[in-house]
Structure 1
Amino acid sequence: MNKLVRFGSAVALATLFAGSALAQDPTFFRIGTGSAGGTYFPIGGTIANGISSPPGSRPCDEGGQCGVPGLIAIAQSTTASVFNNTAVQNGELEAGLAAADVTRSMYLGEGKFDGKPHEKLRIVANLFPEDLHLVLPKGASIEGLADLKEKRVGIAQAGSGTQVAVLQMLDAWGVNRDNMSEAELNNSQSAERLADGQLDAYFYAAGWPVSAMVQLATTKGMELHSFTEDDLAKINEIIPAYIPSKIPAGVYEGIDYEVKTPAVSALLIVSSDLSEELVYGITKAMWNDNTRKLLDNGHAKGKQITPDTALDGVLALGVPLHPGAEKFYKEAGFLK
């Protein structure tokens, strides 16, 4: 895991070594997220903070952390969905954030993952919609995806759900690695290359606002491609998990128009190897009042992460809920 960069959440690891903590055994819980310029990274850090309660910390009712007693959750930057699901399957991560379409394909061993089912993947919650951003230089525009032939295009980093989906979409319009100059870069790198004139366009699926795009929009400027209704319907037919969505006007500086684009749900995934008791505690901690405050005051997408939407689309996806999460949702009345 030397490629992973640990994100310093609000969990103060020093408490692990403080007085009373020495008598307790901590449980470390690694959550794979995404690149620093995306949405998985800050959301994963917020979730890690909310579910943590390191040994020796003050009880929740005394102003301490309100997570799972003894749990130290650490959000780690990765290349996102494909990497996170693979690492959860292999036991290199306890949890990860991942796109619904990629998670389904990997669990079932379909499509690109044909014959390689990731049978240990389990869902804890649907989190938020990830809108596909097709970013163009300021003043540029395209009629449709076919216009990206012979262009320099950022297709997101290898190991990301964005890249898997984007290559499927582009192929339907006759665009592929043979007739475009593709760049496998994370969101921050893509934004930098576009600003420097080294890319003609790049794709990134994430919950808005995306920090790297906020910076790009306020410095060099940018445009976002708005898909037609027919194109959105075609994409939904190709990848059913991608549904029509909208990025409101004003989310990014200079983008004063509504952007029609496909979106896919982001999920919190864990391993089936985790105990029912632990995942029950984690699920319960995710939806307590303390975590609610953290989500509401963090990244803008945090407000969309609610127990009322936690099961949206999940039961029809074909990937099981973890028994611990299922137990919580039944007790809380969200699941019969």
Structure 2
Amino acid sequence: MSARVRPLWGAVLALVSAIACVPCFACIACFASPARASAEPPTFRWGAGSKSGGFTKISEALAEGLQQTGDRIRIDIQTTSGSCDNIHLLLRGELDFALVQYDVAAEAFKASASAYDVLEAGEAGEPDDDAKTGGYMCRISAAEAAGAELRTVSALSDGAVHVLVRRPLRLDSFTDLAKHRVYIGKQGSGSFETAKVIVGAAGLTVDELELQDGGSDAAFEALRDEVLRVMLRTTEPGDQSIAKAVGSGVATVNELPEDVLNRLIDGYPYYRVCQIEANTYPGLDYAVPTVCVSTVLLTTRPEGEGAAEQAAARDHAVEALLDAARWVEASPDHRKLGVHQRWQGFAEQEPIPLHPVAAAQQEHERRAGWLRMAAWAVGLGLALLLLRRLLRRRGLLKDPLESNLEGQLSNPLIPFAGFVGIVVAATFLVWSIEHDSNARVRTLNDSFWEMNMFATGNFDTESLKSSTARFIGATATIAGLGLLAWFTAALTNIFSRDQTRLFRRLRNHIVILNFREDMLQLIRMLRSPGPLRSRPIHVVVSDTLPRRVRLLLARVKGLTIHHQNPEVPEDLIGLRIPRAARVIVLRSDEPAVGGPRYHPLRIARAVHQACSKFDHQVTAQGPELGKTGFSVAPPLQHPAIAGDDAGRAPSLPVTLAEATDEDPEEIFDPFRRWLIPVPGRELADSWMATASIDPGFAEIFNGAVSFRDDNSEVYTVPLPEWFHGQPWRVVRRTLYGMEARAGVVPLGLYRSSDAVHAYDTRSMGSSPQGELQKRLLVNPDLELAVEPGDRLVAFAENEADLLKVVRRSRRAAAEVERGRAGTHRV
């Protein structure tokens, strides 16, 4: 190729390459143009309020929240005159979103619905002047609202109606507003419109009032100068301007009268009954009932050309705004704004439907809430099941006397618990239904009081409004009166039989099996405690016991009568015998008396089986007891009647069985670890014979059986060292010489032991009856010497007096030893 052709050929190739690259650059430009456009988020027109008002502060916080949650959209905040201006601009399509008080928004929705009804009815033609300037709040007309489909995005904050009065004025009736100069807000604001309907609920019109013009700052200045007397303002509780006026003593917050509240809610159900809590403002020490209205974020449904694209963009904006509202609610820097996002429950009635995006999120949160409740219910059910299993394993739910149907019907705790449950459930249900619309149940305390009145039949027919709440109240009345009747019948039945389960004690108690009439003196003996002791007694009687004897037993304090068969172990389980201090088994009456014949040995066997059926896990004590798994209950060297330690496991109680000389000792030998045969009749005959011979013992015996010393009981105390080595005669004479002051009757001595129990493992071959016979010395020989460790057995009014007498007996003992007879008074 020649030198001249090469430059020409290069130019041609360059031209062809440039032409080929044009489409590529065009495609790149086409794709780059949307990318640059998407970098700029869409902007929506936003209606706020005055420059320093609450609407503007919330709007600025939401704008910051949009930036913090992804900057997906932006809002162009426009300052307006407030709710009235915002609703008009929104209805005309000059705003995309607006903050509006819900009462104003609901009135606008009502106006649009009335315009739609007129079109549906087929009425055509130009709207008249009344239709152009309707009577709805903010002068919204049906013609203006026609075609506007309002949607609620969310409720953001609450405003309470504050009735400020210049001290010392108090308003008992709102008809007195016409007598004073009043400020109800700035023309065109939501507060002004709310005040208008409140004045209307009081039976007045705005034209009848002497109104104060200007803004809120000028109104507070006039209030301080006593030019203004009353101010109605809708704002968030805790407003700084109101707090300054109340805290300085210029004004106080007056309550809305109950009749005004009820008429307002009935006529305008866009409010809800609430109260300004105590201590919200300085010096406000009580709650003030009033009404609250919410600030909601409104939008409209796009119409006309491009409505689908606008609706999609509006949905995207609503989602971004809801995320921004959650951010503002959780932000500590914006906590003073009181933003709390809600979709329902912010008014008595909520006629404006939710935006589809907000409705979807509400449904999602509702399902999540139900799932959480189900999880809590399952967890609570499992916990109760495990608790029931644990209680069953410990034997606390295995008492048939307490778990059968008859026992439940006679238990007054069941109707009492049912009454409490009915009242509590009705309280929450009625409060959830009517706390927004009924001034009498605005708090849980009010609802609890009303439900108590319903449950007891002392209700007011006008206290509840809705039919559902009245049905709940009627149900509470029927159920409550029935449960109260059940409770009264159960208590009557309990007290008539002296079977008071609420007050009887089944631990460290005394059980007497097979009681008979001639043993009433035993009951008197056991039921004569000193001031420091009071042990419950449970007596099992037969049906043949005379009625007069039962009446005598019923008069004994702390005694419970049981009509059961003492030879059936299942009948003895309810007595909780393993926890008893002592079990006393008596013989039956003579054959001539009649009635069932029970042998003490068969009863003792039933006691043993009842303890095994009590189903408690205990620790074996010693090699012999390890075979049966039982422990023996009380130590025999305790001076008074003493039961098991409360912290110990159930055990076989020491049982005293009435026996005779005809019963061979061999039949009691298998039970020698816990059963003590007592020849009661023989002992009584022996004591009477001894009393006939020995005048000293006769005095003791007479004092015991006749209860000469009232309120006495057997106690033992250790004898001091000055009695060691002295004969029993000196001890008895010393105490008798001091009897005038203390009422002490000496009975004998008890030889102590180093063993922890009388049947300690070191003396496993011994038996309780053998230990008693060796250690307990009743009315011993007068020359028997007192040894170290011996304890005095004596009747006394209380243990403290006995100890005092013994400690102060040294001087008297010395005088007796020297033969100086006489009475020495302490």
- Coarse TM-score class (shorter-chain normalised): 0.7 to 0.9
Structure 1 residue ranges, 4+ long, deviating more than 6 angstroms after superposition? 20-23
Q: Distance in 1 between matches of 2:50 and 2:180?
A: 24
Match of 2:102 in 1: 100
Q: What secondary structure, in the 3-state scheme, does the structure 2 residue paired with 1:178 have?
A: helix
Whether contact under 8 Å (2:165, 2:254) holds in the other structure is yes
Match of 1:47 in 2: 62
Whether contact under 8 Å (1:131, 1:247) holds in the other structure is yes
Displacement after TM superposition at 1:245 (Å)? 0.7
Match of 1:13 in 2: none
Q: Distance in 2 between matches of 1:328 and 1:281?
A: 14
Match of 2:143 in 1: 116
Change over 3 Å in CA distance of 1:22–1:140 after alignment to 2: farther
Number of residue pairs matched by the alignment: 300
Q: What secondary structure, in the 3-state scheme, does the structure 2 residue paired with 1:212 have?
A: helix
Residues 243-289 of structure 1: CA deviation (Å, up to 9, x unaligned):
21101122222333211111122211123235344444443443466
Aligned residue among 217, 222, 226 for 2:246: 217
Whether contact under 8 Å (1:283, 1:328) holds in the other structure is no
Match of 1:196 in 2: 225
Change over 3 Å in CA distance of 1:130–1:23 after alignment to 2: closer
Match of 2:673 in 1: none
Q: Distance in 1 between matches of 2:104 and 2:208?
A: 25
Structure 1 residue 283 corresponds to structure 2 residue 319: yes
More strand as a share of residues: 1
Q: What secondary structure, in the 3-state scheme, does the structure 2 residue paired with 1:234 have?
A: helix
Change over 3 Å in CA distance of 1:26–1:39 after alignment to 2: same
Q: Distance in 1 between matches of 2:38 and 2:355?
A: 31
Whether contact under 8 Å (1:67, 1:282) holds in the other structure is no
Q: What secondary structure, in the 3-state scheme, does the structure 1 residue paired with 2:269 have?
A: coil
Displacement after TM superposition at 1:107 (Å)? 1.9
Structure 1 residue 263 corresponds to structure 2 residue 266: no
Q: Distance in 1 between matches of 2:214 and 2:44?
A: 28
Whether contact under 8 Å (2:47, 2:78) holds in the other structure is yes
Match of 1:143 in 2: 172
Change over 3 Å in CA distance of 1:232–1:301 after alignment to 2: farther
Which residue identity lines up with residue 328 of structure 2 in the other structure? T
Aligned residue among 202, 213, 230 for 1:173: 202
Match of 1:154 in 2: 183
Structure 1 residue 24 corresponds to structure 2 residue 39: yes
Q: Distance in 2 between matches of 1:282 and 1:121?
A: 14
Change over 3 Å in CA distance of 1:39–1:249 after alignment to 2: farther
Match of 2:333 in 1: 297
In structure 2, runs of 5+ residues without a counterpart are: 1-34, 115-134, 303-309, 371-826
Residues 3-60 of structure 1: CA deviation (Å, up to 9, x unaligned):
xxxxxxxxxxxxxxxxx99983343334333346654332232223212x3xxxxxxx
Q: Distance in 2 between matches of 1:78 and 1:218?
A: 31
Match of 2:275 in 1: 246
Higher relative contact order (CA 8 A, sep 6+): 1
Q: Distance in 1 between matches of 2:182 and 2:367?
A: 43
Match of 1:9 in 2: none
Alignment of 1:58-77 (within 5 A): 65-69=68-72, 71-77=73-79
Whether contact under 8 Å (1:84, 1:97) holds in the other structure is yes
Give TM-score scaled by structure 2 length. 0.33
Match of 1:60 in 2: none
Q: What secondary structure, in the 3-state scheme, does the structure 2 residue paired with 1:116 have?
A: helix
Q: Distance in 2 between matches of 1:210 and 1:171?
A: 25
Displacement after TM superposition at 1:185 (Å)? 4.0
Whether contact under 8 Å (1:38, 1:210) holds in the other structure is no
Find the structure with the greater CA-based Rg.
Answer: 2
Change over 3 Å in CA distance of 1:197–1:315 after alignment to 2: closer
Displacement after TM superposition at 1:198 (Å)? 3.0
Give TM-score scaled by structure 1 length. 0.76
Change over 3 Å in CA distance of 1:287–1:184 after alignment to 2: farther
In structure 1, runs of 5+ residues without a counterpart are: 1-19, 54-64
Q: Distance in 1 between matches of 2:36 and 2:223?
A: 49
Q: Distance in 1 between matches of 2:300 and 2:344?
A: 18
Change over 3 Å in CA distance of 1:333–1:233 after alignment to 2: closer
Residues 158-179 of structure 1: CA deviation (Å, up to 9, x unaligned):
2222222322221343432333
Change over 3 Å in CA distance of 1:315–1:183 after alignment to 2: closer
Displacement after TM superposition at 1:66 (Å)? 1.1
Residues 126-146 of structure 1: CA deviation (Å, up to 9, x unaligned):
223321111122433211211
Whether contact under 8 Å (2:165, 2:230) holds in the other structure is yes
Match of 2:355 in 1: 322
Q: Distance in 1 between matches of 2:178 and 2:362?
A: 47
Whether contact under 8 Å (1:35, 1:186) holds in the other structure is no
Q: Distance in 2 between matches of 1:192 and 1:218?
A: 15
188-197 or 240-249, which moves further after superposition? 188-197
Q: What secondary structure, in the 3-state scheme, does the structure 2 residue paired with 1:317 have?
A: coil
Q: Distance in 1 between matches of 2:347 and 2:301?
A: 16
31-40 or 117-126, which moves further after superposition? 31-40
Residues 105-132 of structure 1: CA deviation (Å, up to 9, x unaligned):
1122164234235324221012233211
Q: Distance in 2 between matches of 1:208 and 1:37?
A: 18
Which residue identity lines up with residue 222 of structure 2 in the other structure? R
Q: Distance in 1 between matches of 2:165 and 2:367?
A: 41
253-262 or 283-292, which moves further after superposition? 283-292
Q: What secondary structure, in the 3-state scheme, does the structure 1 residue paired with 2:238 have?
A: coil
Structure 1 residue 164 corresponds to structure 2 residue 193: yes
Change over 3 Å in CA distance of 1:212–1:29 after alignment to 2: farther
Q: Distance in 2 between matches of 1:128 and 1:298?
A: 12
